[in-house]
Structure 1
Amino acid sequence: MDGVVNIEDLRKLAKKRLPKIAYDFIEGGTDDEVGLVTNEQAFRKARIVPRYLVDVSVRDQSTTLFGRTYSSVIGIAPTGLAGLFRRGADLMLAEAARDANVPFIMSGSSTGSIEALGKLAPDHGWYQLYSAKDQAISEDMIKRAGDAGLKTLVFTVDVPEGSNRERNARNGWGRPLKLTWKTKFEALRHPAWMMEWMKHGTPYFDNWAKYAGDGADAEKIADLVGYQNRAPMTWKHVERYRELWKGNFVLKGIMHPDDAIRAHSLGVDGLMVSNHGARQLDNAPSPLEVLPAINSAVGDKMTLMLDGGVRRGLDALIAICMGAKFVFVGRPTLYGVTAGGITGAKMALNIFRREIDLSMAQMGAPKISDLGPQFLMWKDEEDLRRNRR
């Protein structure tokens, strides 16, 4: 890990450790992968106008979210199958988040359990719910999350069907795996990962084991996850899960202001504006592009969060200026934990923290609460006058 200075360095190390089939699962999008570029370029297009002669000798990037104060505005988004890239990665990410005092969202396709998360990081762990075909499973998972002491449930709504991930198809990814000789040979060039795979095999989806029947092995459980996670979702599910869950209830994947308004009417506490890391609908806008409209619709009524395309600390601050209360990252911390285990996960969070701190100083914003549209480049004189108020 020596010499790592940014998230791109961690990405390169993760790529070096993983065989192509695993790395492409992290990095890939859908169809022509236009959305991957769209997500990152949205931040590149944004312009921040600094304000000088401000005392920034002391900076504070802490922020309060759902009544809890975290040390920074960056949390860890849910990333499925993390245990494929490094054994035990889900709980490593949870531990890193706990130690950094930021939230961690356990994926609905995690290889760690809700109960383990509750013991390890009850004040920092959130749980992502994918609606199962068998509603009894979803309702039991909600109960388990509450029993484990978790305070926030994140219902992900942007996967109505599996998407066309062509990198995965070319690599033989699927159930069952259909690996080509080329894929197998290439994997041999990554001995550390290969030894781990040979020792442990298919990642074990702990949260789903109880629903697969007694004695079910990892392969059978993986088949169950693949089947159950292709369930129809409607607003009736939102109503039902809101009724069952007594803590903070967040919808992840909302991209339209009208959907945001409807979510508020059903008692949803927060929204994570997200396009699933550009892994579902290729020509969708980036979350950052739709954030201002959603903020105008419900920003004074709900807690708005964002994920997708964040690679620098300044990206997080841009999102805050546009209306987000908090920002989550998926691939960056996955690069970190893949490259260096818990040390790498902590390094990813520290990189963001340092970049946020320096960017706040350069902008002239000592506190996160100082951020807002007044730091964004104005479109015309009327826009400039409006942001002065």
Structure 2
Amino acid sequence: MMWNYDKRYPSIDDLRSKAKKRIPKFAFEYLDGGCNEDVNLHRNRSDLQQVELKPQYLSLHKGSDMKTTLFGETYDAPFGIAPVGLQGLMWPNAPEILAKAAFQHNIPFVLSTVTTSSIERIGEITEGKAWFQLYHPTEERLRDDILKRAAAIGNEILVLLCDVPTFGYRPRDIRNGLAMPPKMSVKNILQILGKPNWALQTLIQGQPNFEILKPYMPKNMNLSALGQFMDQTFSGRLNEEKIAPIRDLWKGRIVLKGVASEVDTERAIKLGLDGIIVSNHGGRQLDAGQSTIKPLTEIAKKYGDKITIMMDSGVRSGPDVARTMASGAKFTFMGRSFMYGVAALGKTGGDHTISILKTQLQQIMEQLCCEKVTDLPDHLVDQS
């Protein structure tokens, strides 16, 4: 099966190049960059690309099916849209564009606490099928109210973020005034003037805001006060004592995102969580850490029958999805790939990106003579 997409941009790299030309430099660098010297950002890609798959050409092949069952839901492909903060900064209305595309293609969309659309709006677009990622508040009252809102729209899968105990040190964002508190400089204004389409769409849609947090924020807050509010309102450091009451409160599934070690995997199992996403925040938090594919391989071997194991960070393409699934993941997520698509193509970017990823993965599976995504591990080249 083939999916329709804009033939001018047949790869994620094409979308990245187009996005770089279309949006202000500060917005592109926020999306594209890692932390410190970008070592782990690049390691995510290079290590994943070392994974090799072997075809079985003389097998009796009846066709390839990408459908994947996860937490009782059958999705049309084994990948979803990862949570990304400040999506509306990269392209106006980006969360709604991506949520709509995910719903139409029957893949999961994960909404971040600090993105630019509300829980209620995304719930309406996805008919309650979106996942919600909680960035842990310092106050129980705020935590409970956000969880109540997520449950009210029919959300069944809660993602707890554990890999942001501190804000990553990101030199680009500091230079561009996107650290906390944010600061708009003359340089940024000139960059905006150089991207009139982005500026016009932003004017039409309105300045991006933390829509989920709006009910809890003082009105007419300036940028300096916003930084103080964020610092006082959220504590990214999770531990077993913070997770246990959430497990008691939340009636649906809970997934821990940001796991990078066997120790934290064991703790997630002990806490009765339903899944983990092996992740290093896209290389944006710990430059001295491992790439995600390295711990994923070991974690999947030891704990694959005890908890649902997924992965993000470094996954950019259909071949990457196949590599990750062959290495033991039950599902994959991508953030930058989809944001490049929306930044490049606007309202059609979500549909386009999902379509090329489905096409790429379908071709890989057909080439391998792999009928189901659960068979991908049978095609992994042993590199031990």
Q: TM-score, normalised by structure 2?
A: 0.93
Q: Is the 8 A contact 2:24 2:195 kept in 1?
A: yes
**Equivalent residue, structure 2, for 1:375:** 379
Q: Which of 149, 165, 169 lines up with 2:170 in the alignment?
A: 165
User: In structure 1, what is the Cα distance between the partners aligned to 2:179 and 2:258?
Assistant: 24
**Equivalent residue, structure 2, for 1:241:** 246
Q: Which of 323, 326, 331 lines up with 1:326 in the alignment?
A: 331
Q: CA offsets, 1:229-262, max 9 Å, x none?
A: 3444221111111111110100000111121011
Q: Kindly state the Cα deviation for residue 194 of structure 1 after the two structures are TM-superposed.
A: 2.3
1:273 has 2:278 as partner? yes
User: In structure 2, what is the Cα distance between the partners aligned to 1:231 and 1:283?
Assistant: 19
User: In structure 2, what is the Cα distance between the partners aligned to 1:6 and 1:345?
Assistant: 13
Q: Kindly state the Cα deviation for residue 195 of structure 1 after the two structures are TM-superposed.
A: 2.8
User: In structure 2, what is the Cα distance between the partners aligned to 1:200 and 1:167?
Assistant: 26
**Equivalent residue, structure 1, for 2:371:** 366
Alignment RMSD (CA, Å): 1.9
1:132 has 2:137 as partner? yes
Q: Which amino acid aligns with 2:379?
A: F
Q: Is the 8 A contact 1:133 1:232 kept in 2?
A: no
Identify if the C-alpha distance between structure 1 residues 117 and 235 changes in structure 2 by more than 3 Å, giving closer, same or farther: same
Q: Is the 8 A contact 1:30 1:281 kept in 2?
A: yes
Q: Which amino acid aligns with 2:123?
A: G
Q: Is the 8 A contact 2:164 2:237 kept in 1?
A: no
**Equivalent residue, structure 2, for 1:207:** 212
Q: Is the 8 A contact 2:110 2:132 kept in 1?
A: yes
Q: CA offsets, 1:325-382, max 9 Å, x none?
A: 000000000111122223111111111100000000111201112221x3222246xx
Identify if the C-alpha distance between structure 1 residues 227 and 8 changes in structure 2 by more than 3 Å, giving closer, same or farther: farther
User: In structure 2, what is the Cα distance between the partners aligned to 1:145 and 1:186?
Assistant: 36
**Equivalent residue, structure 1, for 2:55:** 50
**Equivalent residue, structure 1, for 2:3:** none
Q: Which amino acid aligns with 2:359?
A: R
1:13 has 2:18 as partner? yes
Kindly, what percent of the aligned residue pairs are identical?
37
1:32 has 2:34 as partner? no
**Equivalent residue, structure 2, for 1:282:** 287
Identify if the C-alpha distance between structure 1 residues 190 and 227 changes in structure 2 by more than 3 Å, giving closer, same or farther: farther
User: In structure 2, what is the Cα distance between the partners aligned to 1:145 and 1:168?
Assistant: 30
User: In structure 1, what is the Cα distance between the partners aligned to 2:82 and 2:147?
Assistant: 19
Identify if the C-alpha distance between structure 1 residues 293 and 34 changes in structure 2 by more than 3 Å, giving closer, same or farther: same
Identify if the C-alpha distance between structure 1 residues 123 and 363 changes in structure 2 by more than 3 Å, giving closer, same or farther: farther
Q: Kindly state the Cα deviation for residue 42 of structure 1 after the two structures are TM-superposed.
A: 1.3
**Equivalent residue, structure 1, for 2:344:** 339
Identify if the C-alpha distance between structure 1 residues 135 and 317 changes in structure 2 by more than 3 Å, giving closer, same or farther: same
**Equivalent residue, structure 2, for 1:305:** 310
Identify if the C-alpha distance between structure 1 residues 223 and 339 changes in structure 2 by more than 3 Å, giving closer, same or farther: farther
Identify if the C-alpha distance between structure 1 residues 123 and 59 changes in structure 2 by more than 3 Å, giving closer, same or farther: farther
Q: CA offsets, 1:5-44, max 9 Å, x none?
A: 1111111111111111110000111000001110111121
Q: Which amino acid aligns with 2:101?
A: A
Number of residue pairs matched by the alignment: 378
**Equivalent residue, structure 2, for 1:68:** 73
User: In structure 2, what is the Cα distance between the partners aligned to 1:230 and 1:85?
Assistant: 25
Q: Which amino acid aligns with 2:137?
A: A
User: In structure 1, what is the Cα distance between the partners aligned to 2:61 and 2:184?
Assistant: 55
Q: Which of 77, 88, 92 lines up with 2:93 in the alignment?
A: 88
User: In structure 2, what is the Cα distance between the partners aligned to 1:356 and 1:334?
Assistant: 19
Q: Is the 8 A contact 1:204 1:222 kept in 2?
A: no
Q: Which of 249, 257, 260 lines up with 2:265 in the alignment?
A: 260
Q: Which amino acid aligns with 1:264?
A: I
Q: Which amino acid aligns with 1:46?
A: V
Which range moved further: 167-176 or 21-30? 167-176
User: In structure 1, what is the Cα distance between the partners aligned to 2:7 and 2:375?
Assistant: 35
Q: Kindly state the Cα deviation for residue 181 of structure 1 after the two structures are TM-superposed.
A: 3.5
Q: Is the 8 A contact 2:131 2:158 kept in 1?
A: yes
Which range moved further: 362-371 or 91-100? 362-371
Q: Is the 8 A contact 1:95 1:342 kept in 2?
A: no
**Equivalent residue, structure 2, for 1:291:** 296
Unaligned runs of 5+ in 1: 381-389
Q: Which amino acid aligns with 2:54?
A: V
Q: Is the 8 A contact 2:34 2:170 kept in 1?
A: yes
Unaligned runs of 5+ in 2: 1-5
